[in-house]
Amino acid sequence: MNRNPRYDILFEPIKIGPVTAPNRFFCTPHALGTGQQMPHTRAAMREMRAEGGWGVINTGYCSIHPSSDDAPLPYCRLWDDDDIKVHELMVEAVHRHNSLAGVELWHGGDGTGNRLTRAPLMSASGISTGSNYPGWMNLSQSRFMDKKDIKEFRQWHVDAAIRAKKAGFDIIYIYAGMNFGPYQFLLPWLNKRNDEYGGTLNNRVRLMREIIEDMREAVEATCAIALRFSTDELLQVPSDTFKSEAHEIISIMSDIPDLWDVKAASWTIEAASARFTEQGAREPFTNFVKPLTNKPVVSTGRFTSPDEMVSQIKRGIVDLIGAARPSIADPFLPKKINEGREDEIRECIGCNICVSGYHDCVPVRCTQNPTMGEEWRRNWHPEFVPKGNPKKSVLVIGSGPAGLECTKTLGDRGFDVTLAEASKELGGRITKECKLPGLSTWARVRDYRSNLIQRMNNVNIFKDSPLTAADIIELNCSHVVLATGAKWTRNIPDKDGRPGEELLNQNVFTPDDILEGNFPIGPTLIYDFDHYYMGSCIAELLTKKGLPITLVTPANAVSAWTFMNNELIEIRRRMIELEVEIFTDHDLSDFNGNTAILKSIFNNENKKEIEISSIIIVGKRQPDNSLLSDLNNELSSTKESKIESIHSIGDCKNPGAIVHAVYSGHECGRAIEGDTEIPIKWERPKIFS
Ligand code: ADP
Ligand code: SF4
């Protein structure tokens, strides 16, 4: 198919200093969880996006010197010439597809930990904020940077830029945002110097300007120099001559960098989830930049709609469409637009599971794209799967994320696939959960897959079709895949906090009841030891329906796991706005229908009584695998059956998050008459002889 001319503007080449991007699709720097330790995984992850049509592919944060070390978080580095090879691998991979490769040089200043190198932290005035931030805390404050430090700081940037050029990069960044090195010189509350690097704004930008000029001289104008800059905090700082200090800095620096990459100062704002922010929500941090510079501007906004991308350009907000998450969810997004296949885009749902992968220090994984991180070690491609046998039939039972992904994968492989779903709608848990407050984008997990499988001639879909073991045997398919999901239980921990019995009372509910529209009446207590979104989403839903809600959790925060996906602060803020009463560090010990008894997790004797009508237990889920045991029983007494293999996938095998179900469905779709079950390659450290 041909490209819609409406989107031609997205495919215009853009000059960035001495280099030219082949189009406006720009993968902004972001960590992939691979750091320096997994060079092959990292190169393959980045290459996939170049193959998918992104015109510029950047590294994540790349330390210029051992005095900036973010271990154990996965950052990469250019500390000496031995580090170059890791980057060459990625640059070559990106260049194979005629895209530009960029490197985000980074010095964390006070905004890192130096846990590995044990080098003292340093900052503009020895004022510590980043290193003492709860969550990433370390116990060391930063020291004041004297003139010698500043001279060395500039030289480290130059040395790293020269290595970056040797590695073949086309674009070299200086990072002056997110509380890192040069940014700390810009902020009046962190820069209290009284030399030529402090005081007036011209003085505070001096270091940033010098570094750009030094680097440009060092790379002999063959590489573009990009400036990554956070605007939101500086937009709040008044200026005598401009609307804000952010405006003033951009005016002073206007055409000095070859590219402005504009972002927020905190990661929880920069990469906020879709539950709390819309696509393009950060436009006010960016829209004032272009009128103040002649150089191209890039910024992100979780854009998955080509019409919104075009609007960003036509309205003069940006020149290049920056993306991290949309390019993770669909590395082939540009190619699909170019080929008139925008209805096939695997749209990011904004769940931030990818963010949690980085925090977990593993290659980022994605709810929508199960191949992410598996490109090298499993040879998985997001668009192509090895062919299967069209004469073989596969029956998939259950159309949740696991069943849908498995059906799609098997359909793409050419098998003769039948999908049976008990309910009237496809989607399983997605169809229910996407109706919870803030989760509407999650429907994309269902819609992307159901749209594609409905077009496949080799896939037959039967809704409203609850199957029994006898039905399965009668259908006589070669392979059977059970994707029947899981149910929330009423079990609560026992008096010692160990897995306990069901709380049996007619006023005790589970999330399944709520998702079916079976709501409690009167003051309700949510007892959440699942720690993800469900407890706080139900609290929001029911509060908005007028129910007084108390939320009790043994963790020290509501939805405690969501520290990993950047939602924790917003969830707490929302609970406060909704006046949800919160008890952290408490377990539910008993409930008699009118009174709940809570006990402190630190002291069994410390108890509280709360008058309450109903309880919702958001705890564990039980796999729904009764069909599997029925089937095995029936088969043991059936002589004639063509069934060659039976698989159970997703929540009916291991209850988990949606990302796990999608991955499990994909893995099974490849494994039937195909792929091995474990990865084929592992990264290994180099052994010095
Ligand atoms: P997962 O997250 O593992 O994909 P879900 O709970 O989202 O699981 O989906 C499971 C789906 O399986 C539900 O839509 C449910 O209606 C369907 N299902 C369960 N048992 C049967 C059955 N016997 N026949 C057909 N569909 C079933
Ligand atoms: Fe988007 Fe979620 Fe995938 Fe991240 S994990 S890219 S937020 S769909």
> Could you tell me the pLDDT band of residue 172, with boundaries at 50, 70 and 90?
very high
Can you list the positions of beta strands (E) in 289-428?
297-299, 320-323, 393-397, 416-420
> Could you tell me the pLDDT band of residue 221, with boundaries at 50, 70 and 90?
confident
Q: Is the CB of 399 under 6 A from ligand 1?
A: yes
Lowest mean pLDDT among 86-90, 135-139, 395-399: 135-139
The pair of structure tokens assigned to 201 is 């704004």
The ligand with the least distance to the CA atom of 348 is: 2
Looking at residue 134, its pLDDT comes to: 66
> Could you tell me the pLDDT band of residue 374, with boundaries at 50, 70 and 90?
very high
Separation of 648 CA from ligand 1 center, angstroms?
11
For ligand 1, pick from 367, 396, 399 the residue to mutate: most ligand atoms within 8 Å of CB. Answer: 399
Looking at residue 685, its pLDDT comes to: 83
Q: Is the CB of 374 under 6 A from ligand 1?
A: no
> Could you tell me the pLDDT band of residue 15, with boundaries at 50, 70 and 90?
very high
Q: In 10 A of CB 326, how many CB atoms?
A: 28
Ligand 2 atom having least distance to the Cα of 328: 6
Ligand 2 atom having least distance to the Cα of 364: 5
Residue 299 phi/psi, 5° resolution? -155, 165
Q: Do residues 48 and 333 lie in contact, with contact meaning Cβ atoms separated by under 8 Å?
A: no
User: Helix axis angle, 147-167 relative to 84-95, nearest 10°?
Assistant: 50
- Residue, of 239 and 497, whose pLDDT is higher: 239
Q: Over the Cα atoms of the chain, what is R_g?
A: 27
* Eight-state DSSP code of residue 562: G
Residue ID of nearest Cα to ligand 2 atom 8 = 348
Residue 248 phi/psi, 5° resolution? -65, -40
Separation of 327 CA from ligand 1 center, angstroms?
30
Separation of 571 CA from ligand 1 center, angstroms?
29
Ligand 1 atom having least distance to the Cα of 652: 3
Nearest CA to 475 out of 641, 632, 629, 639 is that of 641
517: left (phi over 0), alpha (psi -120 to 50) or beta: left
pLDDT tens figures, 121-165: 999 999 988 666 666 777 889 999 999 999 999 999 999 999 999
How far is it, in rounded angstroms, from Cα 85 to Cα 65? Answer: 17
* Mean predicted confidence (pLDDT) in 67-83: 95
User: Helix axis angle, 568-577 relative to 533-544, nearest 10°?
Assistant: 20
Separation of 323 CA from ligand 2 center, angstroms?
12
Q: Is the CB of 466 under 6 A from ligand 1?
A: yes
The ligand with the least distance to the CA atom of 357 is: 2
How far is it, in rounded angstroms, from Cα 93 to Cα 548? Answer: 56
Ligand 1 atom having least distance to the Cα of 665: 4
Q: How far is CA 76 from the centre of its chain?
A: 19
Residue 354 phi/psi, 5° resolution? -60, -40
Looking at residue 606, its pLDDT comes to: 85
Nearest CA to 665 out of 462, 474, 476, 430 is that of 430
């005598």: which residue's tokens?
240
Separation of 506 CA from ligand 1 center, angstroms?
26
Q: Do residues 627 and 610 lie in contact, with contact meaning Cβ atoms separated by under 8 Å?
A: no
Separation of 630 CA from ligand 2 center, angstroms?
37
Q: Is the CB of 628 under 6 A from ligand 1?
A: no
């194979």: which residue's tokens?
96
Q: Is the CB of 666 under 6 A from ligand 1?
A: no
Residues with CB under 6 A from ligand 2: 325, 328-329, 348-354, 366-368
For ligand 1, pick from 421, 482, 534, 654 the residue to mutate: most ligand atoms within 8 Å of CB. Answer: 421
pLDDT tens figures, 651-671: 999 999 999 999 999 999 999
Q: In 10 A of CB 177, how many CB atoms?
A: 25
Q: Do residues 186 and 250 lie in contact, with contact meaning Cβ atoms separated by under 8 Å?
A: no
pLDDT tens figures, 191-206: 999 999 999 999 999 9
């949740």: which residue's tokens?
400
Q: Is the CB of 420 under 6 A from ligand 1?
A: yes
Q: Do residues 483 and 403 lie in contact, with contact meaning Cβ atoms separated by under 8 Å?
A: yes
Kindly tell me if the per-residue pLDDT of 688 is higher than 80.
Answer: yes
Q: Is the CB of 481 under 6 A from ligand 1?
A: no
Separation of 628 CA from ligand 1 center, angstroms?
12
Look at strands 297-299 and 224-230 and give their pairing: unpaired
Separation of 218 CA from ligand 2 center, angstroms?
38
Average pLDDT, the chain: 95
For ligand 2, pick from 302, 368, 532 the residue to mutate: most ligand atoms within 8 Å of CB. Answer: 368
Q: Is the CB of 405 under 6 A from ligand 1?
A: no
Kindly tell me if the per-residue pLDDT of 456 is higher than 80.
Answer: yes
Nearest CA to 188 out of 240, 224, 228 is that of 240
Separation of 468 CA from ligand 2 center, angstroms?
35
Q: Is the CB of 659 under 6 A from ligand 1?
A: no
Residue ID of nearest Cα to ligand 2 atom 6 = 325
Separation of 326 CA from ligand 2 center, angstroms?
7
Nearest CA to 189 out of 265, 83, 108, 285 is that of 265
Nearest CA to 70 out of 44, 23, 106, 27 is that of 106
pLDDT tens figures, 415-430: 999 999 999 999 999 9
State the burial class of residue 687 (Cβ atoms within 10 Å of its Cβ: 0-12, 13-18, 19+).
exposed
Ligand 2 atom having least distance to the Cα of 326: 6
Within 13 Å and on the Cβ side, how many CA atoms surround 680? 8
The ligand with the least distance to the CA atom of 323 is: 2
pLDDT tens figures, 230-281: 999 999 999 999 999 999 999 999 999 999 999 998 888 888 999 999 999 9
β-partners of residue 550 are 525, 581
* Mean predicted confidence (pLDDT) in 516-525: 96
The ligand with the least distance to the CA atom of 488 is: 1
How far is it, in rounded angstroms, from Cα 499 to Cα 493? Answer: 5
The pair of structure tokens assigned to 670 is 């490849």
Residue ID of nearest Cα to ligand 2 atom 5 = 366
Looking at residue 677, its pLDDT comes to: 67
- Residue, of 496 and 612, whose pLDDT is higher: 612
Ligand 2 atom having least distance to the Cα of 273: 7
Can you list the positions of beta strands (E) in 295-391?
297-299, 320-323
How far is it, in rounded angstroms, from Cα 648 to Cα 95? Answer: 41
pLDDT tens figures, 530-578: 999 999 999 999 999 999 999 999 999 999 999 999 999 999 999 999 9
Q: Is the CB of 140 under 6 A from ligand 1?
A: no
């474990």: which residue's tokens?
678
Q: How far is CA 142 from CA 11, 61, 206, 257, in A?
A: 45, 20, 21, 29
Ligand 2 atom having least distance to the Cα of 365: 5
Q: Do residues 34 and 43 lie in contact, with contact meaning Cβ atoms separated by under 8 Å?
A: no
Q: Is the CB of 485 under 6 A from ligand 1?
A: yes
Q: How far is CA 475 from the centre of its chain?
A: 40
Q: Is the CB of 627 under 6 A from ligand 1?
A: yes
Can you list the positions of beta strands (E) in 81-209?
100-106, 122-123, 143-144, 171-176
Kindly tell me if the per-residue pLDDT of 86 is higher than 90.
Answer: yes
How far is it, in rounded angstroms, from Cα 45 to Cα 34? Answer: 9
How far is it, in rounded angstroms, from Cα 595 to Cα 614? Answer: 9
Ligand 1 atom having least distance to the Cα of 430: 7
The pair of structure tokens assigned to 343 is 């209805």
Looking at residue 640, its pLDDT comes to: 80
Looking at residue 418, its pLDDT comes to: 98
The ligand with the least distance to the CA atom of 425 is: 1
pLDDT tens figures, 313-344: 999 999 999 999 999 999 999 999 999 999 99
End-to-end CA distance of the chain: 55
Looking at residue 133, its pLDDT comes to: 66
Question: What pTM was computed for the model?
Answer: 0.96
How far is it, in rounded angstroms, from Cα 131 to Cα 118? Answer: 13
